[in-house]
Amino acid sequence: MKDDSLASLAGKHFILATDLDGTFLGGSDEDRRALYDWIEENRHSIGLIFVTGRDPQFIRGLCDGGVPWPQFVIGDVGTTIAEVTADKNIEPIADLEHEIASLWNDSGEKVRAALDGHPGLTLQPTDFRYRVSYDLDPGAFDRAAIDTVDEMGLDHLISDNRYFDVLPRGVSKGPSLKRFVSYMGVSPQRVLAAGDTLNDLSMIECGLPAVVVGGAEQALIDRVSTLPNVHTADAVGAAGILEAVRAFDLHETP
């Protein structure tokens, strides 16, 4: 049973939908503590969603170590959409994952076989449910892998010039976040999307108020800097999130 006091976003004045590495986890210890304390002190009015390439196991360890627990997780680069229960389990939302599973169509083995030994790609050991992920060596990478993925009816995503993800067609952070916001009946203008690398591109450009935090990948900044819904922060990581909350006047800040 979910903890309605945590899981419901309907009554929240402001909702932060944030990437983790380099964004929510970025910046100085002091900046992170300021952001985390502000969220904990305002749980009645602030909702928190992690939108990340990380998997639920990583998130559990992170939050058990002192990072604020989110109410929901859009993980695995948008291929997991889950709620955090009262006993701190991260449970997929079946209504939202059914389409993702259908689009993936158990393609993991097919992808691994097609890209086995491909130049510049090293398979990551985690067995994700609806994606296959590789470490990328840009100097050795052969872009024929992109054609191979496209021919399978799937999407590829290169981020930070060192990761290569194979995803269900049309599924990534942005589309999953927009579907989630619609499903929850939340006003999009109360949601701030925050990120720092190209795997955040789809959520930064999906039309929600958004921030590219200081220290972000230059390729991401170049792609979104002219969009009217995007604030390009000077402050790094966690401090950049608070900078954007002020810039958009989404909530009172410290």
Q: Of 140, 168, 196, which closes a domain?
A: 168
Predicted TM-score (pTM) of the model is 0.91
Q: What is the DSSP code (8-state) at residue 88?
A: S
- 155 and 198 part of one domain: no
In a domain, 210, yes or no: yes
Residue 209 pLDDT > 60, yes or no?
yes
Average pLDDT of the segment spanning 33-61? 95
Q: Residue 110 sits in a domain of what CATH number?
A: 3.90.1070.10
Where in the sequence is the domain holding 125, given as residue range(s)?
Answer: 104-168
In a domain, 254, yes or no: no
Indicate the number of domains in the chain.
Answer: 2
In a domain, 197, yes or no: yes
In a domain, 253, yes or no: no
- 49 and 160 part of one domain: no
Model confidence band, residue 70 (pLDDT cutoffs 50, 70, 90):
very high
pLDDT at 126 (0 to 100): 86
Q: Residue 186 sits in a domain of what CATH number?
A: 3.40.50.1000
Question: Residue type at 36?
Answer: Y
pLDDT at 207 (0 to 100): 95
Q: Of 168, 198, 214, which closes a domain?
A: 168
Q: What is the pLDDT of residues 74-101, one digit of tens each?
A: 999 999 999 999 899 999 999 999 999 9
- 116 and 65 part of one domain: no
- 53 and 155 part of one domain: no
pLDDT at 172 (0 to 100): 96
Here the tokens at position 117 are 């030994």
194 burial type by CB count under 10 A (0-12 exposed, 13-18 middle, 19+ buried): buried
- 157 and 183 part of one domain: no
Q: How many other CB atoms are found less than 10 A from the CB of residue 25?
A: 17
- 134 and 21 part of one domain: no
- 86 and 180 part of one domain: yes
Nearest to 196 by CA among 241, 166, 164, 151: 241
pLDDT at 6 (0 to 100): 40
In a domain, 128, yes or no: yes
Nearest to 122 by CA among 108, 133, 109: 133
Q: Using CA atoms, how far apart are residues 61 and 237, in angstroms rounded to an integer? A: 20
Q: What percent of the chain has pLDDT over 70?
A: 97
- 8 and 60 part of one domain: yes
In a domain, 10, yes or no: yes
In a domain, 87, yes or no: yes
199: alpha, beta or left? (left if phi > 0; alpha if psi -120 to 50): alpha
- 220 and 163 part of one domain: no
Main-chain phi, psi angles of 42, to 5 degrees: -125, 35
- 110 and 235 part of one domain: no
- 86 and 116 part of one domain: no
Q: Using CA atoms, how far apart are residues 18 and 28, in angstroms rounded to an integer? A: 17
Q: What is the pLDDT of residues 132-156, one digit of tens each?
A: 999 999 999 999 999 999 999 999 9
Q: How many other CB atoms are found less than 10 A from the CB of residue 28?
A: 13
Q: How far apart are the first and last CA of the chain?
A: 34
Q: Using CA atoms, how far apart are residues 254 and 249, in angstroms rounded to an integer? A: 13
Nearest to 82 by CA among 194, 159, 183: 183
Residue 3 pLDDT > 50, yes or no?
no
Nearest to 208 by CA among 223, 197, 224: 224
- 117 and 178 part of one domain: no
In a domain, 33, yes or no: yes
182 burial type by CB count under 10 A (0-12 exposed, 13-18 middle, 19+ buried): exposed
Q: Which residues lie across from 37 on neighbouring strands?
A: none
Q: Of 147, 168, 189, which closes a domain?
A: 168
